[in-house]
Amino acid sequence: MEVGGKILTGAAVSMVLALAGHYATGEGFISGLEKTAQTEMTAQGMDGVKVSLARDPLSRKALLNGDVPNDIKLKALSAVSDIPGISSAQWAGNALNAAEAGADTDQSSDAGPAVDPAIEAALKDCQTGVDTVVESKKLSFRSGSAYLSPESNRILDELAAALKPCSGLAVEVGGHTDNAGNAEVNRILSQERADRVRTGLMERGIPADHITAIGYGALQPLAKGSGPDVAAKNRRIEFKLSVAGKKQSNDANSQQGE
């Protein structure tokens, strides 16, 4: 019994030491992630952003805080989310409270992650900025080609300036044609035009991984019927901004002549 008791006692001590070691390792890992994230904020000139990771329980989900503009919030979220080891990042004060934000949420959800209201506001501001550029102007191409006119290149300058503060948001450039002619030819032409606009924005400093280009051809008309006015409305480039792959309904449209 005495020998057995010593064995059991030794096993218990070993287990406690193992658990303590495991916790210490986990604590060190989380502290390292937090330090890395804070260093990244400083390196990118965002000293006003503070990053914390929960300790009880340990979590790889980063919670950001600080009195900074919406564009800085977007930039900070994007930078922290890209750090290896951090599972996700969100801004303090959104729909989740601090305790919920500290819980580890590695498991996927069909509903997707909640979007910070501050990010939603930034999305709205950015979409409005793009809308303002294209409401009274139109991107025009040479008939049957993806060649952009000099005036359209000036419009791209304005669009790029409107998108510069929107780091962390995704931009979809959608090409659309009228229904005249061959459907496949129209689709290819719309893709070429969307690609040309995407390239133009990239040349003006918008990161390539923030922009996608899709050619829809005549599959998504804005106007029904026929005639020059209807065709003109359906020949267009659309700009859709979104957060984390979520589609947005507040599209910005610019019409183009063929």
pLDDT digits (tens, 9 = 90+) for 2-42: 544 444 455 544 544 444 444 445 778 888 889 999 999 99
| E runs forming strands in the chain | 50-55, 58-65, 88-91, 170-176, 211-217, 236-242, 252-255
pTM of structure: 0.56
Predicted confidence at residue 139, as pLDDT, reads 87
CATH code of domain 2-113: 3.30.1340.30
Instruction: Select from 231, 163, 224, 235 the least CA-distant residue to 198.
Output: 163
Give the fold, CATH level 3, of 119-255: 60s Ribosomal Protein L30; Chain: A; (3.30.1330)
- Name the region of 152 (left: φ>0; alpha: ψ -120 to 50; beta: rest): alpha
Q: Which sequence spans correspond to the domains of the chain?
A: 2-113, 119-255
Q: How would residue 93 be classed by pLDDT, with cut points 50, 70 and 90? A: low
Q: Render pLDDT for 145-197 as a digit per residue (tens, 0 to 9).
A: 888 888 999 999 999 999 998 877 899 999 998 888 899 999 999 999 999 99
What are the φ/ψ torsions at residue 42 (nearest 5 degrees)? -65, -45
Report whether pLDDT(249) > 90: no
Is the pLDDT at 81 greater than 60? The verdict is: yes
Equal CATH topology for 2-113 and 119-255: no
